[in-house]
Structure 1
């Protein structure tokens, strides 16, 4: 199982977090976010996939950010349509991954995501809340029993140290969980990650060998 650390903001913190070698690092290009990123990304180990997070932004803006920051993945966190995902797919390298986010609660209908299967590389399930992301709460993972797709997905939403046991349990199922996405539970303030806490989490994450 892969690890994504999202909501990076400060250069020195990006470097020390990058030293932990997560599989993905997320940079939020949504201006209304407290973790909005508009700086310079320091050079990172090439195995770390720089991921741009967007919320209902234009194709032109996404393409500009891909070029400017040499992104390896794009995470769509808004109400983007299948047509938009297809248009994006048509305009980027096949090597750049498209991650489509869905906000989940107990009423989530998994049938609604079926049309997105051909136009995305991965899905990401986050907690439905007031904000597009970063709400700091988990959703009821038992609803994933209704997941009827083979598309691998990221598990997100308020994941912290206390969720390790639950991650271990859900990893034993047949669900195609590709990665875990962490953010707010490892912050000193929005965008500033606690390296010690992340180090401890990653060590236990690796030992568990999900």
Structure 2
């Protein structure tokens, strides 16, 4: 199981967190976010993929940010259609991953995923809240029992160090969980991560070897 640390903002902090060798590091390019990124990404080890997070933004803007920041993944966190994802995938090429995020609650209809299966590399399930992401709360993971797809997915939404036991339990299921996505539970302020807390989490995460 891989680890994605999202909502990075400050160059020095990016380097500190990058030294922990996460599999993905996320940068939010949605201007309404408190974690909106518009700076310079320092050089990271190639083992860490840079993911750009977008919310109902144009393909032109996405393609521009991919080129400018040499992104390896694009996370779509709005109401992007399957047709939008398919067209974007053709423009991006096979080397750049598309992660389609969905806000989940107890009434989530997993049938809406079907049109996206062939046009996205991964799904991401986040907690349904006032914001597209970064709400700081977890959703009821038992609803994932209804997930019948083989498409690997990222598990997100208010995950902190106290969720390690729950991660261990859900890892024992047959669900194709590809990665855990963490953000707000490790912050000093929006966009500024607590390196020590993340280091502790990463160490326990690696030891557990989910």
Q: TM-score, normalised by structure 1?
A: 1.00
2:7 matched to which residue of 1? Answer: 7
1:165 matched to which residue of 2? Answer: 165
Q: Which runs of 5+ in 2 are unaligned?
A: none
1:171 Cα deviation from its structure 2 partner: 0.1
- Which digits, 9 at most, give the CA deviation of each residue in 1:150-209, with x for residues without a partner? 000000000001100000000000000000000000000000000000000000001110
Q: How does 1:1-210 map to 2 (within 5 A)?
A: 1-210=1-210
- Which digits, 9 at most, give the CA deviation of each residue in 1:89-144, with x for residues without a partner? 01012110000000000000101111100000000000000000000000000000
How many angstroms apart in 2 are the aligned matches of 1:17 and 1:30? 21
RMSD: 0.3
How many angstroms apart in 1 are the aligned matches of 2:138 and 2:93? 33
- Which digits, 9 at most, give the CA deviation of each residue in 1:48-72, with x for residues without a partner? 0000000000000000000000000
Q: TM-score, normalised by structure 2?
A: 1.00
How many angstroms apart in 2 are the aligned matches of 1:204 and 1:46? 23
Aligned length: 210
- Which digits, 9 at most, give the CA deviation of each residue in 1:33-60, with x for residues without a partner? 0000000000000110000000000000
How many angstroms apart in 2 are the aligned matches of 1:77 and 1:155? 13
How many angstroms apart in 2 are the aligned matches of 1:83 and 1:144? 25
How many angstroms apart in 2 are the aligned matches of 1:149 and 1:109? 13
- The 3-state SS of whatever aligns with 1:118 is coil
- The 3-state SS of whatever aligns with 1:119 is coil
